[in-house]
C-alpha cells in the first residue's frame, strides 16, 4: 500500500503545473481524508472559504469509531464531529511559493457520541465540545488539486489528518 501511495504521489509531482495562490478571497475548497487519533481512525470532509487575502473560515464533518479497552473496561464507541475553523495562511508574509499553503488557527467541534460500554462506565473521551488548534500545509499539483497534512488537537481528533484538496 505504501508503494502504491508513493507511486501515485510521484506521478502527481512529476506532472505538476504552475498553481495559483492557495486560497483567494471568495474561493472555496473541499478537503477529504483520514486521520490518526488517540482512538480510532477518523474520516473527514470539510470546506474552506477564503474571506480575505490571508484568512479562511471552514467547516468539517468527521466520523471515527473504536472498539477496544480502557483501564480494563471494554467499549465500542463512535463519534460524529461537526466543526468550524478559522485559519491564517502564512504564504504572503513568509514568501512561500504559490503551490504550497501553510496555515494555522483555532477550531471548535461538537461531538455526537454513540457509546456501548459492557461495564456501565462512561467513555474516557466523551466530551461533547472540543476546542483546539491546528497547523497544516497543502501542496498543490495544479490549480485545482492538492494534498494536505494537518496536525492538531482537541477532544476526539487529537493527532494528524492527511488527505486531498479540491478547489471548487
Report how far apart, in Å, the C-alpha atoms of 81 and of each of 63, 116, 139 are: 6, 18, 26
User: How confident is the model over 152-161, as a mean pLDDT?
Assistant: 69
What local confidence, expressed as pLDDT, does residue 51 receive? Answer: 95
At 107, list the grid cell: 477550531
What local confidence, expressed as pLDDT, does residue 44 receive? Answer: 93
pLDDT at residue 27 tops 90: yes
Q: What is the value of pTM for the model shown? A: 0.76
pLDDT at residue 132 tops 50: yes
What local confidence, expressed as pLDDT, does residue 78 receive? Answer: 81
Beta carbons within 10 angstroms of residue 26's beta carbon? 9
At 124, list the grid cell: 474516557
User: How confident is the model over 131-146, as a mean pLDDT?
Assistant: 93
Alpha-helical regions (H) of the chain: 2-14, 91-94
pLDDT tens-digit profile of 38-88? 767 889 999 999 999 899 999 999 998 877 666 666 667 788 889 999 999
Please give the Cα distance from 57 to 135 (Å, whole number): 14
Query: Quick one: pLDDT band at residue 36, thresholds 50, 70, 90?
Result: confident
Q: At the topology level of CATH, where does 33-167 sit?
A: Porin (2.40.160)
CB 109 within 8 A of CB 81: yes
- What is the pLDDT of the chain when averaged over all its residues? 80
CB 164 within 8 A of CB 146: yes
CA dihedral 109, 112, 118, 120 (to 10 degrees): 80
Amino acid at each position: 500500500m505504501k508503494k502504491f501511495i508513493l507511486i501515485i504521489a510521484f506521478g502527481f509531482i512529476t506532472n505538476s503545473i504552475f498553481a495559483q495562490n492557495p486560497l483567494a478571497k471568495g474561493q472555496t475548497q473541499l478537503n477529504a481524508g483520514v486521520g490518526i487519533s488517540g482512538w480510532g481512525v477518523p474520516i473527514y470532509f470539510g470546506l474552506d472559504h477564503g474571506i480575505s487575502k490571508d484568512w479562511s473560515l471552514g467547516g468539517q464533518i468527521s466520523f471515527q469509531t473504536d472498539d477496544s479497552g480502557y483501564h480494563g473496561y471494554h467499549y465500542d464507541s463512535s463519534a460524529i464531529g461537526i466543526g468550524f475553523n478559522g485559519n491564517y495562511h502564512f504564504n504572503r508574509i513568509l514568501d512561500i511559493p504559490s503551490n504550497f499553503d501553510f496555515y494555522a488557527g483555532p477550531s471548535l467541534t461538537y461531538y455526537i457520541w454513540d457509546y456501548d460500554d459492557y461495564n456501565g462506565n462512561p467513555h474516557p473521551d466523551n466530551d461533547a465540545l472540543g476546542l483546539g488548534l491546528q497547523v497544516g500545509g497543502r501542496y498543490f499539483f495544479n490549480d485545482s488539486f492538492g494534498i494536505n497534512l494537518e496536525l492538531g488537537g482537541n477532544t476526539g481528533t487529537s493527532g494528524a489528518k492527511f488527505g486531498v484538496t479540491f478547489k471548487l
